[in-house]
Structure 1
Amino acid sequence: MDAPEPEQTPFAAVTAHTTKLQRQYQAILDQSTPYVTYRWIGTGVALLMFFLRIFFAQGWYIVAYALGIYLLNLFLAFLQPKFDPSNDALDNEMEDGSVGTLPTNRDEEFKPFIRRLPEFKFWYWATRAIGIAFLCTWFAIFDVPVFWPVLVMYWLILFVLTSKSPLSDAMPVIHMLTKVL
């Protein structure tokens, strides 16, 4: 009557345990979603701890540089719209041959601003990157000797280039400075 239960393989046991841990982790993330301010305060504290680690250890500048580039990339993706309005205007002009005009009636579709990278994903990936960078500062293999002022200047140049700010008009001067360094 009582049939013996089939033995569970080690792979199935590990898979079941990791699936359970993934569900618990996702539940914690889901519960933290409404607490935007507290999440960002925690991320700010983690970033401050990372900066203090870099400052007191006097090293791992390449890790800090890589983190800065990654966070800049995330921030720019957070600021950009998911759908580029300039491309939509070009598509409409090509379809009906008209020049881009303002809406003329109330029946036109409302297109809200949708970010390319939602706030939660921005927070999640930034916090995860800060944690990984902090972990990397505890291993000597990641302490590559570099001249940190050059990295700061390269980061500023990259910021100017990617943000398309009015300073991007000064690119010939910046290009000349990069050749000098």
Structure 2
Amino acid sequence: MRSRVAAAVLVLALGLPLTGCSSDGADPATRGAAGAPAAGRQSAPSHLRFTAKTLDGAVFDGAALAGKPVLFWFYGAACAECPAQAFETAARADRYVGRVHVVAVAEPGAGNGLQGFAAPAGAGRLPHLSDVGHALRGRFHAEGINTYVLLDEDGEVLYKGAGAEGDKLDGELASVASGV
């Protein structure tokens, strides 16, 4: 009897510290880009209910983007304009930090070679997602590489266009960011 009580106490003593590892109760695999717990999956717009891997292999939960407008930039290894667009996209991330989420999405096969595109971003950290099987491109109906898709805070598509249409995109961003 005494050994059973001692065993139970030992199990409890060893198990309690394990349950206290996460003070907010969120599973680290469901954390968003900034490490904050993702918004409840059911309250996130349907477009943002996805998970993807970042180029460095971390899990990214799209629900973490809920509540603010989101700009997705789809790029690829075969894109001659994408290195220049990387700097413009990073500048947009910096300009709208705290008001618009900016997420880069690498086509399959882009590998880590384009991960350096993240370097120009300052305060507006720019997560880079790996688009295995073009799942995200299909979800957002992006035409191809060097394409931008802008969603409002409810997940509705406000803008879809090529990188060459920067002035139009900047106008849409300014408009959506002013309401946040």
Give the structure-1-normalised TM-score: 0.22
Which structure shows the bigger proportion of residues in strand conformation? 2
> Which structure: larger Rg?
1
Give the structure-2-normalised TM-score: 0.22
Greater RCO, 1 or 2 (C-alpha within 8 Å, sep 6+):
1
